[in-house]
Amino acid sequence: MSAKPDKKPQEAAVAPKKPGGMGLGGMKLSGLLKPQAATVADSALKELPLDVIDEDADQPRLEDNPGFRPEMIAEIGGTIKARGVKQPISVRESPDAPGRYIINDGARRFRGSKWADKTTIWAIIDNDFVPDDQVVANIQREGHTAREIAKLIGQRMASGMKKGEIAKRWGKSNAYITQHAALLDLPAPIAQAFDSGRIADVTLVNELVTAHKSNPQEVADWLADESQEITRGSVKLLREFLQDGKERDPNTVDAFNDKTDAELDSEGEGEGDVPPKKKTEPKEEDPTKIKKAIVQVEINGDLCRLILTKRPSDGDVAWFKNEVSGEEFEASLASAKLVALVEG
């Protein structure tokens, strides 16, 4: 019978368990101090120097993607400088350069870390990577809606935080916080349009709120038209129309006496102590203004219209509607050839 092999030195150094104990003699306390991301296998999680990481040249987001704008990277960098990177990026080992890594997911956190003058970043090594992984991650990462952001701001303000504190904590501008805070107390017709998804642009909401302060009924009537597309162009035309001023139609029935302005004028004539009401001519509409604009384009030989009320999945695409079949689809803006601008 052969002799048993000697124990390995590291095994011999471990003290035996004591009866009734928890067997912690061989445990290193440093293992309890790893970041929360260490739920991934230790071998997959590493703190890597930024200078050994490269961005994926074939990633689906182009360099002109809105998420890569300098101000966006500066916002991310500001939060990283103050709070660090809370979620590791994902990388894979470079097949062409041993010791280097290519980003699977987290290019903005990587750029933000550089902006914040960091030298390392936590990364999960994931060599089981396919290009579609990036597409799925970008499509599914919708983030908070403007209404959700407003609710969060309201909660922070209720706890005693100032808008400036929230802006600094979130790495956003004061104007961004103020605009979203305005969503907490909207006039009813604007709130209804916003909650239903007809308005998604916070800037448009604030422009409508401004118009509503001086012309509440006109704005409410304008929003009541469900066929009205709410875009930056249409809201601009609405505000210009309201600012130009308009006389009331003399045939409009007064809600208090059930008589038109014309009837009241005729009743006032001949009464010496009551001067007749001055008649006003209805103002002619400006023929150069378009109440509802329709942008027609040609895509693959088909006549289509640009849908301005449906949010695209990326900055270089948009939603279109085939004028013949009625089919709605998403396509690249570069593939659309402008045909005409008509009034709906």
2-56 tens-digit pLDDT: 444 444 444 444 444 444 443 434 444 344 444 444 344 445 888 999 999 999 8
**How far is residue 166 CA from its own chain's centroid?**
18
The residue with tokens 């289509």 is: 304
Distance CA 332, CA 314 (A): 9
Mean pLDDT of the chain: 75
Q: Helix or strand or coil: residue 322?
A: strand
Q: Which of 222-226, 269-273, 275-279 has the highest mean pLDDT?
A: 222-226
Q: 109, 106, 104: which is closest to 73 by C-alpha?
A: 109
Looking at residue 114, its pLDDT comes to 94
Decide if pLDDT at 310 tops 70. yes
The residue with tokens 């005729």 is: 266
Give the architecture (CATH level 2) of 37-140. Alpha-Beta Complex (3.90)
pLDDT level of residue 180 (50, 70, 90 thresholds):
confident
Q: Helix or strand or coil: residue 219?
A: helix
Q: Which CATH superfamily is domain 293-343 in?
A: KorB, C-terminal domain (2.30.30.150)
Q: Helix or strand or coil: residue 317?
A: strand
Q: What's the pLDDT tens digit per position in 92-141?
A: 999 999 999 999 888 889 999 999 999 999 999 988 876 656 555 554 55
Distance CA 302, CA 55 (A): 38
Q: Across the strands, what pairs with 277?
A: none
Beta strands 53-54 and 101-105 are: parallel
Looking at residue 53, its pLDDT comes to 95
CA angle, residues 340, 341, 344, in degrees to nearest 5:
125
Listing DSSP states for 93-145 in one string gives: E-SSSTT-EEEEE-HHHHHHHHHTT-SEEEEEE--S--THHHHHHHHH-----
Decide if pLDDT at 169 tops 60. yes
Q: 329, 223, 241, 249: which is closest to 285 by C-alpha?
A: 241
Looking at residue 238, its pLDDT comes to 86
Looking at residue 314, its pLDDT comes to 80
What are φ and ψ of residue 2, in 5° steps? -75, 155
What percentage of the chain exceeds 90 in pLDDT? 11
pTM of the model: 0.38
Distance CA 230, CA 228 (A): 6
Looking at residue 31, its pLDDT comes to 43
Per-domain residue ranges for the chain?
A: 37-140, 146-233, 293-343
| One fold for 37-140 and 293-343 | no
pLDDT level of residue 144 (50, 70, 90 thresholds):
low
pLDDT level of residue 344 (50, 70, 90 thresholds):
low
